[in-house]
Amino acid sequence: MAFDGVQLLDVSGPAEVLTTANSYGARYDLHVVSPTGRDVRTSSGVRVGVDGTPAELPRRVDTLVVPGRRDWRRAVADTDLVHLTAALAARTPRVTSVCAGAFVLAEAGLLDGRRAATHWELARELAAAYPRVRVAADPLFVRDGPVVTSAGVTAGIDLALALVEDDHGPHLARDVARQLVVFMARPGGQSQFSKRLAPEPSEGTVVRRIMDTVTADPTDDHSLDSLARQSGVSARHLGRLFRAETGMTPGQYVEAVRLEAARALLEAAPDTVEEVARRSGFGSSESLRRVFQQHLGVAPTAYRARFRTTAACTASGPEERGAEPA
């Protein structure tokens, strides 16, 4: 579903994934439609041709993809767009959105009572505008029943790869990822951005000093009592400061930093899972597995296998790029 002002990559990213899958045996029949049936001008000024209106689609539509525009208020104010989206969703078993496309789904009532993702910068606006939506600010994409919503722009590629994997299995999806030179595939629960790159409190504050301490050495003793002693405040006061300035508890931040460290080690190093757990501060492989399942929905070994595929593509010669990872 395309419309004026839509972000180009929200449309072209998933479309490229699905049509590339056809080269490896899939049979996606892609249609780009707009409420008016006329071509649309994207946010970048590039014009996208469409195949007509939703009324001209085949009766059977398996998947609806709704992209977004940065000025989401303009999109949800387009009553034709919202009504046509709702009508299509009513006869479509799988409904998805990319980035701010979640606002269109929300306006159509398709996200009421569901978990949903959008670009991290828009998460608070989605939650405020649509309080019946349970907004997940961090994941790349979120599944809730037949509805799948994704974060910003390139996350639409991750979303589309996940759809291909659902439809045709991991091997075909991996072939598509290799062809497009993208990771196969970032788990939907993976954070949209590094905890070290997240907005941080100003220099010199108690919370900023503790955050710097944790990121400098995730393996150190970062219990609440230990952090409180280092900061010179009570554990209860430190917890209040942390929640006020970061939206999370000290323990949640420590776990997030250790998870990021473990991901980096799994992507780059040949260490065993037990060694990765030790080097990232989790202590045991069981603790590492529990946190990976909780936050990413995959085991550490499965996470490593996905990234090893791409690493093999970048490091190997052309004759080796089709090989499966060990």
61 touches 30 (CB < 8 A): no
CA distance readout (Å), 191 to 151, 220, 255, 286:
10, 23, 13, 21
For the chain, state the CA radius of gyration.
22
Which residue is catalytic, options 99, 153, 261, 276?
Answer: 99
C-alpha dist (Å) from residue 326 to 306, 307, 309: 11, 12, 9
Supply the DSSP symbol for 100.
T
CA–CA distance, 3 with 317 (Å, rounded to integer): 42
Run of H or E residues at 150: strand 147-150
**313 has catalytic annotation:** no
Among candidates 222, 221, 310, 321, which has minimal Cα distance to 266? 310
Give the catalytic positions in this structure.
99
